[in-house]
Structures are given as structure tokens and as C-alpha cells.
């Protein structure tokens, strides 16, 4: 590609035309995938991974573009699309049924592709459920933090070793009723502020305890109730081929409670999001 910046500008122009033609809710693009520009089109949602991205977004302030921040993990093109979509959906920037234009390219490179998607039309990405929206019973910041930790574990493991994990967020009272401890609860006795996953100091603690068998159970507010819990509910029927007990437990507990479960597969590092008994998104870890 002789002129990647020129291609990216042409794709942005095409995305603007497509958005008008399809009455798209938004154009979503990672800010680091944009060439040097003075402004971005209306309805653009800029995606940031780190402070450098946020600093660059400031130059687009006059365009009234909206911003979301996603975990800074390496993903392929479609993985980046799915991650941006699920964060935008949880922030209610987009809704199920909306048509959205995504501009994407290789990780940390300029855009080279356009994806036009109706959110919810593809089961693998999102499936319409009758549960409340994520932020009605789970703080968006909590969901984002748990997803970020899971993606980091999926990509890097723990101290270089592959690791599996199961984190259940929301409706903690009913989740606890359907679980039992396999080990002593490592979070018992600590003040709620000391065991809230939104505390930056808890990130390494959660990663350390992720090597334990069993699930983390986390309130929608972020308070960690326990780790090392066995979930009694399980669904094996209808699971995608090759998924085991951890995924069956995630499907089962989300079918019986108003929770969201996030699994990390030890074998390949794939991170999957579960809701209402079904997998609603998956992220593959490249080359772990």
C-alpha cells in the first residue's frame, strides 16, 4: 500500500457516505487508526486505548465527537470491532438494532477496512435478551474493569503461564445462593472499599487469585464477595463445541440470575462474555 494515509482518508469519506445512506447511528473508529486530520465527520465515536490517544482526541473537540476508552490489548481487526461495540453498547452510545459503521485496521495501524453492522443481527457478537441493560444493575466502570482484567489474563496469562478464569458480575446475592466455597474466602474480613475491583490496587490481587480453581463473585458496584467459589448451576446443552466446565458454569449462572459472566480459556486465552445463558461476545488472544 503506497499511501496508507490516503487510503484511510478515502475510507473515512466512504464511511461518511455510508452512514448517511444507511442512517447509521455512529461511525466508530480507533483514534490511533486515523491519519492527521483537522476534524472528523458528525456521528463519529472515537475509541481510545491510553492517555496518548486521549490527548490526540482533544484536537477533535470542536467536532462534537464522542469518546469511549477500551482496554489496551492486542486484537485483530474484528476483535477490535467487537471490543469497541460492546463498550459502546454498555455505555448506551449505541443500542441493539442500530446500524453502525466501523473503521478498522491492523492493531495500532491506519484503517484499511470498513465494517457495516447491525448490532444484534450477528449472534456471535450480541444477542438480544430480555434482561435489563448492563448499567441498570452493574456499573459500567465495573464491567469495563472486569473485562479489561480478563483480556489481559487471556493475552498474557500470569507470570508467563496460561491461566483460566471465571468472573461473575452483578446479582451477587442470588449468585452466592447458587455457589459454594471450595477454599477459604480470601476476601473475607476486608472492608468493602479494600476489596472493590475499581481500586487500582485490586487489579494485581485479582490476577494473583485467578490461578485458584472456581469463580470470582463480584457485586454490580465492584465489591468482590469471594474467589474460589464453585457455581452449582451449569448448562452444557447448546454450548459451542469444545467448551468445558468453566463455560457451562458461566452459561448456567447467567441463565438463573441477572449477572454477566466473563470466562478466560486456559487453552487458548479466548475471553468470552456470557449473559442470559448464552455467549454474547468472544475475543481471541493472538499468538499466546
Distance CA 215, CA 146 (A): 13
Burial class (CB in 10 A: 0-12, 13-18, 19+), 81: buried
Which residue stretches of the chain have pLDDT < 70? 1-2, 60-64, 121-136, 236, 238, 286-288
pLDDT at residue number 217: 97
Dist CA 288 CA 286 (whole Å):
6
pTM of the model: 0.86
CB atoms within 10 A of CB 104: 25
For 170, 187, 221, 242, the CA distances from 224, given in Å and listed in that order, are 10, 7, 9, 30
Q: What phi-psi label fits residue 72: left (phi over 0), alpha (psi between -120 and 50 degrees) or beta?
A: beta
Q: What is the pLDDT of residue 284?
A: 87
Phi and psi, residue 223, nearest 5°: -70, 125
Give the pLDDT of residue 91. 86
Q: Please state, in angstroms and rounded to a whole number, the distance separating the CA atoms of residues 226 and 229.
A: 7
pLDDT the model gives residue 5: 86
Confidence (pLDDT) at 63? 58
Domains of the chain: 4-118 (3.40.1380.20), 134-283 (3.40.1700.10)
113 alpha carbon, distance to own chain's centre: 21
Q: What is the pLDDT of residue 166?
A: 96
Amino acid at each position: 500500500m503506497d499511501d496508507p494515509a490516503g487510503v484511510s482518508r478515502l475510507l473515512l469519506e466512504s464511511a461518511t457516505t455510508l452512514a448517511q445512506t444507511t442512517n447509521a447511528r455512529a461511525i466508530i473508529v480507533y483514534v490511533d487508526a486515523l491519519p492527521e486530520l483537522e476534524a472528523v465527520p458528525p456521528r463519529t465515536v472515537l475509541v481510545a486505548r491510553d492517555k496518548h490517544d486521549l490527548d490526540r482526541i482533544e484536537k477533535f473537540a470542536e467536532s462534537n465527537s464522542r469518546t469511549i476508552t477500551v482496554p489496551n490489548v492486542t486484537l485483530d481487526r474484528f476483535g477490535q470491532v467487537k471490543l469497541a461495540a460492546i463498550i459502546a453498547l454498555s455505555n448506551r452510545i449505541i443500542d441493539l438494532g442500530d446500524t453502525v459503521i466501523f473503521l478498522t485496521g491492523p492493531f495500532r495501524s491506519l484503517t484499511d477496512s470498513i465494517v457495516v453492522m447491525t448490532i444484534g443481527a450477528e449472534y456471535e457478537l450480541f444477542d438480544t435478551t430480555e434482561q435489563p441493560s448492563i448499567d441498570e444493575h452493574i456499573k459500567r466502570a465495573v464491567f469495563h474493569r472486569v473485562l479489561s482484567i480478563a483480556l489481559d489474563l487471556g493475552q498474557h496469562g500470569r507470570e508467563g503461564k496460561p491461566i483460566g478464569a471465571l468472573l461473575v458480575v452483578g446479582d451477587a446475592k442470588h449468585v452466592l445462593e447458587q455457589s459454594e466455597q471450595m477454599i477459604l474466602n480470601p476476601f473475607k474480613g476486608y472492608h468493602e472499599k479494600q476489596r472493590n475491583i475499581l481500586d487500582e490496587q485490586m487489579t494485581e490481587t485479582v490476577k494473583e487469585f485467578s490461578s485458584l480453581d472456581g469463580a470470582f463473585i463480584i457485586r454490580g458496584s465492584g465489591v468482590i464477595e469471594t474467589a474460589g467459589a464453585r457455581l452449582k448451576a451449569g448448562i452444557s446443552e447448546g454450548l459451542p463445541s469444545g467448551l468445558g466446565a468453566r463455560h457451562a458454569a458461566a452459561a448456567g449462572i447467567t441463565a438463573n440470575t441477572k449477572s454477566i459472566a466473563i470466562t478466560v480459556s486456559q487453552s487458548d486465552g479466548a475471553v468470552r462474555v456470557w449473559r442470559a445463558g448464552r455467549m454474547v461476545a468472544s475475543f481471541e488472544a493472538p499468538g499466546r
